[in-house]
Structure 1
């Protein structure tokens, strides 16, 4: 064994320590992606993916070199480790790896141009956060036009720090939006239970119920029904759709709403000008 000192760089993740806590980013890895795509001199994009996109139904010409698309998206897949804001766009792009078309390639380059403007963006694991869990979950009903499967997105905070997030297609078809939301709440609850058990193994007690924010009243009504559920572990709570942080994981948002939610995710860009 060899003591290499304080962690600064590991598997492409850069670690910076300060009195505020630990800052994690992938700046070098991001710039390598931008450079390889030939976009170091390109104009940055303000957000990653167009609203109301139809990438799943794209019918343009197939790429002559699909391997270039697969390599680019394959590299992008590693970025959401420290960039929750990329979870949705990377999920969408990765759905077209088998037969990428011109539209998919252009969408991937737009994500790279977004990275060009935010290479040093990352997450701050705050040093003064209280050790409480808080979950946010959302679904986009029948988001996939090909399978009619809904999309699940969740975000979990430990105090003020984001520690778990995901965008994932639901394995079964939901026949209503509230059923999709309820399945989303169930998936997020599994994650919260695991995290609570993990923290307990580290000696961290969580005596209070964990708040889980959802914007669907019907799903919340069922989740609060004591006939179906034990009480005490999760405290389902309502939040308006406009303030639903998990919304950024399930759909392409306009720039103003995207920036509004991004500012509340615990994501920082220390290299950005003040």
Structure 2
């Protein structure tokens, strides 16, 4: 079961390579033979037998095709002589309107709630209580870990279209080896939150702006088990969130400035990768990428030419960011905490604050568009 949970972590890293231009999303015709797909998981081991990495691959079920179509030529080569139609990855729905595209996982959420007998539970407004600070040894240890691990593993697939779940799911994943009653209650609360957000998803508007910017934030030393800071970022292309992360940093930060600085370095690496991808796609960014950080001290260090002795232990991150800024590859600027859009990915918030930030990150309800209807969706 532990292997199964970790294998699912490979799913969010699936890349559609730009060198394969023969893939596009289109509504299937009524007579189209649609080829479905599935996830295949594998454990790659080192020569000594220890685990190197967990790998996930999305493959087409070629045996659903009609006779006469060579599966090898259709899926392993870059040039197709036939039109092959493959379904979207499991449980992800793509709904098209005149104003944009909606990505949602309604069916997956519906099945998850039904499987856990939580469908019809009373909805709540936030995924975690405001003062919720889950720790390792709170509550009574569960006698059966399987149910908890299965639920959290299922939830990990959901934040592909729900950035608001990133912090809670990451937090729950930290207790896989010894879940307690408190952790189980928190997981069930998250299911109650999903009852009220069944029709939520990511809406991608039609827009001509391709400016790249990101928000980064670190919650310094909040974890009472090891005092390792929680860091998160969201990268936007125009007004659309296209990449986000919420996870613990690798080492203990000695100050909030250090925690924020390390997080900005990670965000810079992500932006560099996205810039290279955008360039390969032939898109020119109209402005320099911008990283918004709400820590004044960290922002000051990016532009200060003097290297402080107190930052020697983060020298690599320091010079990496300075090099990017001085070469005009990106800008780092300060943003107030009230305008920080990544706060909900690092800590729990009250209902009003959480809903305000979440509504800015993605379009919420299908019902908000008159072109989309829930009836008959399942």
SS of alignment partner, residue 56 of structure 1: coil
Higher relative CO (Cα under 8 Å, sequence separation at least 6) belongs to 1
Q: Distance in 1 between matches of 2:252 and 2:83?
A: 51
Aligned partner of 2:362 in structure 1 is 266
Please identify, of 14-23 and 243-252, the stretch whose mean Cα deviation from structure 2 is larger.
14-23
1:218 to 291, 297, 300: 297
Q: Distance in 1 between matches of 2:221 and 2:260?
A: 11
Please identify, of 75-84 and 240-249, the stretch whose mean Cα deviation from structure 2 is larger.
240-249
Residue 112 of structure 2 corresponds to residue 33 of structure 1: yes
SS of alignment partner, residue 32 of structure 1: helix
Aligned partner of 1:242 in structure 2 is 338
* Post-superposition CA distance 1:98-131 (Å, at most 9, x none): 1111111110000001001111211112221411
Residue 183 of structure 2 corresponds to residue 104 of structure 1: yes
Asked whether the 8 Å contact 1:8–1:15 carries over to 2, the reply is no
Residue 123 of structure 2 corresponds to residue 44 of structure 1: yes
Q: What runs of 5+ residues in structure 1 fail to find an aligned partner?
A: none
Return the TM-score normalized by structure 1: 0.94
Asked whether the 8 Å contact 1:129–1:158 carries over to 2, the reply is no
User: In terms of Rg, which structure is larger?
Assistant: 2
Q: Distance in 1 between matches of 2:363 and 2:347?
A: 19
Asked whether the 8 Å contact 1:129–1:160 carries over to 2, the reply is no
Asked whether the 8 Å contact 2:294–2:336 carries over to 1, the reply is yes
Distance of aligned partners of 1:123 and 1:273 in 2 relative to their CA distance in 1, 3 Å threshold = closer
Aligned partner of 1:142 in structure 2 is 221
Please identify, of 184-193 and 233-242, the stretch whose mean Cα deviation from structure 2 is larger.
233-242
Distance of aligned partners of 1:125 and 1:175 in 2 relative to their CA distance in 1, 3 Å threshold = same
Offset, 1:57: 4.2
Q: Distance in 1 between matches of 2:133 and 2:216?
A: 24
2:268 to 180, 183, 189: 189
Offset, 1:273: 9.9
Q: Distance in 1 between matches of 2:339 and 2:163?
A: 17
Aligned partner of 2:169 in structure 1 is 90
Offset, 1:271: 3.7
Residue 336 of structure 2 corresponds to residue 257 of structure 1: no
Distance of aligned partners of 1:226 and 1:192 in 2 relative to their CA distance in 1, 3 Å threshold = farther
